[in-house]
Amino acid sequence: MSVLEEFRSNFYKSGKRVIDPIKIVYALIIIIILGALAIYGSSKEKQLVNDRKQNTRYVVGIIGDRHKNFRSSQGTIDFSYQFMSIKYARLHSIGAHNENMMLSSGDRFYVEISSKDPGNSKLLLDFPVPDGMHRVPSNGWDHMPGFVK
């Protein structure tokens, strides 16, 4: 049986070699719903990124525990930061290029946030905070210290 014939057999009426139109309609509805969800998720992510770019502030994030993500091969880490005297705690997926980094609880990295929605954040694992940096402004920085704007 060819792959195409195997695929078609999913849409046959029970015990017959006649295609069932109801099964086709259900399959199309599922495909449309999944497509709409994918488009919505993508546009929501773009909105968050644009909001961070338009209202960028940088704060210091402190690494917490590391977790193995059972839904994907990428692990996650807890991190927390403060903005305007409010503490935020988030999870961050560890990308493939940072997977082998030796991250310890208490390590400090810069976090890019939106000043309008401080919960909208991105941990910048490629930019560790220098050990000598102890004072962080309550409202963060408009650019990372040590980097030209």
> Taking residues 1-16, what's their average pLDDT?
75
Q: How confident is the model at residue 148 (pLDDT cuts 50, 70, 90)?
A: low
**Top-tier CATH class for 56-128:** mainly beta
Q: Which residues contact 110 (CB under 8 A, 6 or more apart)?
A: 58, 59, 60, 61, 124, 127, 128, 129, 144
> Taking residues 9-24, what's their average pLDDT?
79
pLDDT one-digit tens code per residue, 27-83: 889 889 998 888 877 777 888 888 889 999 999 999 998 887 677 777 888 999 999
Specify the pLDDT at position 108. Answer: 93
Specify the pLDDT at position 78. Answer: 92
